[in-house]
Amino acid sequence: MNCIEIQDLLSSYFDDELSVDARVSVAEHVRQCETCSELLDGYQKLSKSISAAPVGLVSENVWASIVEELDRTGQISEQPKIVVASAAKVRRPWLTRATVWRLAIAASILLVIGLSVWLRHDDAMSEMHDEHGPEFVATMDHYLEILPENPDQAEQFLLGKYDGKVVSPDRAISLVGYRPAVAEGLPDGYALASTSVLKMPCCTCFKSVCKRDDGSILVLFEHDDEKAAWFGKRPTSMAMCGDKECCLVDLKSSIAATWREGRRSLTAVGARDQTEVAKLVKWFKES
């Protein structure tokens, strides 16, 4: 596809509404085309700006107050003009300046209210999307429960739940639109056991199952969202892991940690302690 065709699809691509084949085509094009890549970045910046914009409430009596004030101070109406057509006198309506002001103010208020309604609708849609939250947390609870004892079963559970596809890191580029961090390798003491792409409620996510030398499992999720509230009401804390601020979650026998890496986030599940997280943070920063 050419740039025009790709640009028509960027909005749907950003909203994750395209089929897998279409996502592959768009992702491969964007990866090679600087212009389309910048346009996609624009969608991300616009989304963040709109989400951060405050929405003021419009008082129910604001219009009545404006009309009352105009009636009090705007006594400058011109007399209606009479235009003679043929032999008959025809009185044509005439807009006074006060009327024009009222119409202009009404249009402005309607614009503000319309924007407010649109933003609230967008928030409502986000809330509808967030309704997946309890189900998502319950899914992750079950996953975390079976992961330590049966990693293979845990893997199959998530793949089945979120339309997962087992793919190599290089193949995943066409599905997620970026090169996964683990494509550059892992620190000493870790080996890549499997990689997959999951269509989770928060985003399309790249998941890596890593084995330590002793056979134990660490799972890495690479995702677009900055705050992955995946772990319910478990105790959390913020800490510096190396030179990165991490959100640490207590999983009883292990911890989970989320930190920003470039334009994405990494979440490590099953880390032993903050020292191990700092080791991972340093590796992915330097790789």
End-to-end CA distance of the chain: 33
Average of pLDDT values for 207-216? 96
Question: What's the confidence (pLDDT) of residue 212?
Answer: 97
Report the SS3 class of residue 188: coil
Q: Which residue has tokens 């599905």?
A: 175
% of residues, the chain, pLDDT over 90: 41
Residues 201 and 112 in one domain: no
Distance, CA of 218 to CA of 152 (rounded, Å):
13
The verdict on residue 239 lying in a domain is yes
What's the pLDDT band for 265 if we cut at 50, 70, 90?
very high
Number of domains, the chain: 3
- Lowest-confidence range among 18-22, 93-97, 161-165, 283-287? 93-97
Question: What's the confidence (pLDDT) of residue 188?
Answer: 95
Residues 147 and 275 in one domain: yes
The verdict on residue 57 lying in a domain is no
The verdict on residue 256 lying in a domain is yes
Distance, CA of 224 to CA of 198 (rounded, Å):
12
- What would the two tokens of residue 23 be? 């996502």
Residues 215 and 244 in one domain: yes
Question: What's the confidence (pLDDT) of residue 282?
Answer: 95
CB 199 within 8 A of CB 163: yes
Residues 40 and 121 in one domain: no
Kindly report, residue by residue over 173-196, the tens digit of the pLDDT: 989 989 999 999 999 999 999 999
Question: What's the confidence (pLDDT) of residue 80?
Answer: 46
The verdict on residue 189 lying in a domain is yes
Scored b (16 or more CB within 10 A) or e, 126-138 reads eeeeeeeeeebbe
Residues 32 and 113 in one domain: no
The verdict on residue 143 lying in a domain is yes
Residues 30 and 66 in one domain: no
The verdict on residue 89 lying in a domain is yes
Kindly report, residue by residue over 84-131, the tens digit of the pLDDT: 444 444 444 545 555 555 566 666 665 655 555 444 544 444 443 444
Beta strand spans in the chain (E): 82-85, 88-91, 165-166, 190-199, 204-212, 217-223, 236-241, 244-250, 255-261, 264-271
Kindly report, residue by residue over 216-251, the tens digit of the pLDDT: 999 999 998 766 678 888 899 999 999 999 999 999
Is the pLDDT at 81 greater than 70, yes or no?
A: no
Kindly report the CA angle at 101 between 96 and 102, in degrees rounded to 5?
95
- What would the two tokens of residue 108 be? 């402005």
User: Could you tell me the residue range of the domain that residue 68 belongs to?
Assistant: 62-129
What's the pLDDT band for 16 if we cut at 50, 70, 90?
confident
Question: What's the confidence (pLDDT) of residue 97?
Answer: 56
- The model's pTM: 0.57
User: For position 166, which CATH number holds?
Assistant: 3.40.1000
Question: What's the confidence (pLDDT) of residue 250?
Answer: 94
Residues 124 and 104 in one domain: yes
Residues 239 and 109 in one domain: no
Distance, CA of 110 to CA of 222 (rounded, Å):
43
Is the pLDDT at 9 greater than 60, yes or no?
A: yes
Residues 74 and 215 in one domain: no
Residues 48 and 78 in one domain: no
By 3-state DSSP, what share of the chain in percent is helix, strand and coil, each rounded to 5? 50, 20, 30
What is the residue type of 138? A
Residues 122 and 104 in one domain: yes
Residues 159 and 260 in one domain: yes
> Which residue in 159, 237, 244 sits closest to 194, CA to CA?
159
Own/partner contacts of 69-75, CB < 8 Å, gap of 24 or more, are 70/98, 70/101, 70/102, 70/105, 71/98, 74/98, 74/101
The verdict on residue 141 lying in a domain is yes
211 pairs with which residues across the strands?
Answer: 191, 217
Q: Which residue has tokens 């790789």?
A: 287
272 or 30, higher pLDDT: 272
